[in-house]
Structure 1
């Protein structure tokens, strides 16, 4: 249910829920505040992600770390980023502090994520987020913190894990290395084609078509309920540039291995070059990094 709320709020953020901006904003605030997401703060950074997908320096969320940034990570940050299950809880941290190498917060109107005319929208969304948090505290006082933890906390944790796993796998872990671009080598089409569709088995049927990520990046204005049809229409046009997803059984257990392997080997990209690929830390074996701290 949390995922359903997120997908509908996600459509609102892209303007594909309604033709009326005020209705997208109203519904988006209601839905995203329910799952502790600051609507405008997330909407603006997510728009930046779509406008710069596949760009090493300008992409937002799950973008690659440069070698210099990677080597500057402290051990705790490295562990939380690259060791399962910690990255599966990254979303709240990302909302608060963004990714390593980037500054700002989705909650603060003065963050460099936002333009001056967006500060008012960000403030409203942060107030809505705080109101939801206050409501949860009131419910904890009335019904007890354990009841709120069972009814809200556990589903929220599962939602966060699923969100991080899904979004990561749509940009990492393909059997052929995915390029990342800089400078003149980057363009919108090239960036969109670095994304990957995934097959989630029977979960596809109840998952609001999130497996169709390539077409979503090519045309983010398409609502979620039309993505499967749009993907079928686009595949003959894309031809060899479309990466067919690996077929899943009833449950997508194969994606767990792909996720773990990608986090183990996709560490950083070169500091220089206009077309780069993920590299593996050559010094990494066992807890060598911990010993070197």
Structure 2
């Protein structure tokens, strides 16, 4: 048995021969017609847990959502838009008036730093409102939605109509390995070639050492991912399926017929988006000349860098996790893609301790609820039904959770840790062992960085299971013919 591996059929063919040579009459009391294998092939995620394909009808999911969740309100939308803009202006005004009065240089530096962080959180919420406008969920009027979205996204240097078009494709092909527009993972061979070159030999001892978990390398990749991910995606479709073509043909700013991202009917919108970006760039330049680089850095450019970071962190963690599958186009469906996302409730929660009192011992500040319009905690629902306004998304999420059961993915891991874990452990995707051709790909890595190594787990228990099954078979065959072998629990 020591030489038998999980892919070696010798044990099972020999048992079949034994069964045939002894005869069915002597075995029918103890062995069923079909022999159980040492492990039935199954989809295993990076943590070693079994994944099964969900089987839902979209109409059943929509039927579970209360009808009031689909209602759109102009007044509610205008409230949130004006509120977020007031947040930003008020924060800038308070900083401009009071921070220069702080005498200590280091405390003043900390105050300015806190301002850039807070303003970045607020700008992210404003960007999310523009994203919602692209889904036509803010108001019943597409014209009003487009106007609000175009203004908000142009203020934040995001090409509104261009992003709206590619984002719609993303919703239709979420986690489709050939058709998704963002965060498309690499195969094992692609990943090795990208990081180690074409001549890399995975069987080399040197390669094994290089492939080990290296926190500094992971940190460097994470920094580049967070700083350059969003502009890289806009400029040359970084992490998208067309990224290999790069700028200009895979750019969100390319409004010519040679574009790989847009059809002819969308090119006018791309041009208008570029025009909005150009106008905002001119306004920023005039502001720099008027107020100086220091003020513009504090009140716009540094918060904008935080905005870039949060956009990438939020969306990356929503679509990248050890438990999330990807699919080939032949297997992918809208439902499978929509359920291949993760809600992250309370993943950005601050608790401020207070002196004991009869009512409360701490203040909890939920960034997602206060600034990000619950985008981080209702993303699964957003993919299942993107026409629901964000201010009804929490109620709709609670309505569909019982129906989805185990296929609803939610993770309250702090966002920073989730980002780090995914960057470090989710390196490439491939089909589970024995599931070749299934079209279902799970995350893997070269350093077995999941909570349990899926492959290692199977390798370590395979021989034990095979021996146990063989002993049960032989004992039943020669000694206990009156007993029935129970199905082994693989």
Bucket of the pairwise TM-score, normalised by the shorter protein: 0.7 to 0.9
Matches within 5 A, 1:21-170: 21-73=142-194, 83-89=221-227, 90-100=229-239, 102=242, 103=245, 104-110=250-256, 111-170=259-318
- Preserved CA contact (<8 Å) 1:192 1:218: yes
Give me the whole-angstrom Cα distance separating, in 2, the residues matched to 1:29 and 1:268.
36
1:287: which partner in 2? none
Matches within 5 A, 1:273-284: 273=437, 274-281=439-446
Give me the whole-angstrom Cα distance separating, in 2, the residues matched to 1:137 and 1:69.
41
Helix, strand or coil at the partner of 1:195: coil
Greater relative CO (CA pairs within 8 A, separation 6+) = 2
2:368: which partner in 1? 204
**Counterpart check, 1:230 vs 2:396:** yes
1:269 to 429, 436, 441: 429
- Preserved CA contact (<8 Å) 1:96 1:106: yes
Give me the whole-angstrom Cα distance separating, in 2, the residues matched to 1:275 and 1:160.
31
Give me the whole-angstrom Cα distance separating, in 1, the residues matched to 2:220 and 2:427.
8
The change in CA–CA distance for 1:169 and 1:71 in structure 2 (over 3 A counts) is same
Give me the whole-angstrom Cα distance separating, in 2, the residues matched to 1:187 and 1:82.
35
1:221: which partner in 2? 387
1:192 to 338, 341, 349: 338
Give me the whole-angstrom Cα distance separating, in 2, the residues matched to 1:48 and 1:281.
31
1:239: which partner in 2? 405
Could you tell me how far 1:183 is from its partner in structure 2?
A: 3.0
TM-score normalised according to structure 2 size: 0.53
Moved more, 63-72 or 136-145: 63-72
Give me the whole-angstrom Cα distance separating, in 2, the residues matched to 1:72 and 1:126.
35
Could you tell me how far 1:17 is from its partner in structure 2?
A: 1.4
Could you tell me how far 1:123 is from its partner in structure 2?
A: 0.3
- Preserved CA contact (<8 Å) 2:188 2:430: yes
- Preserved CA contact (<8 Å) 1:81 1:87: no
- Preserved CA contact (<8 Å) 1:33 1:129: yes
Could you tell me how far 1:184 is from its partner in structure 2?
A: 2.8
Could you tell me how far 1:106 is from its partner in structure 2?
A: 0.6
Could you tell me how far 1:109 is from its partner in structure 2?
A: 1.4
Q: For structure 1, which runs of at least 5 residues remain unmatched after alignment?
A: 249-253, 285-293
The change in CA–CA distance for 1:135 and 1:72 in structure 2 (over 3 A counts) is farther
The change in CA–CA distance for 1:20 and 1:8 in structure 2 (over 3 A counts) is same
Give the root-mean-square deviation of aligned CA atoms.
2.3
Helix, strand or coil at the partner of 1:277: strand
- Preserved CA contact (<8 Å) 1:107 1:123: yes
Helix, strand or coil at the partner of 1:107: coil
In the TM superposition, structure 1's runs of 4+ consecutive aligned residues that sit over 6 Å from their partners are: 79-82
Give the number of equivalent residue pairs: 273
TM-score normalised according to structure 1 size: 0.86
Q: Deviations over 1:79-101 (max 9, x none)?
A: 79972222112101110011255
Q: Deviations over 1:204-243 (max 9, x none)?
A: 3212011211000000111111110000011111112112
**Counterpart check, 1:173 vs 2:321:** yes
The change in CA–CA distance for 1:283 and 1:216 in structure 2 (over 3 A counts) is closer
Helix, strand or coil at the partner of 1:278: strand
Helix, strand or coil at the partner of 1:228: helix
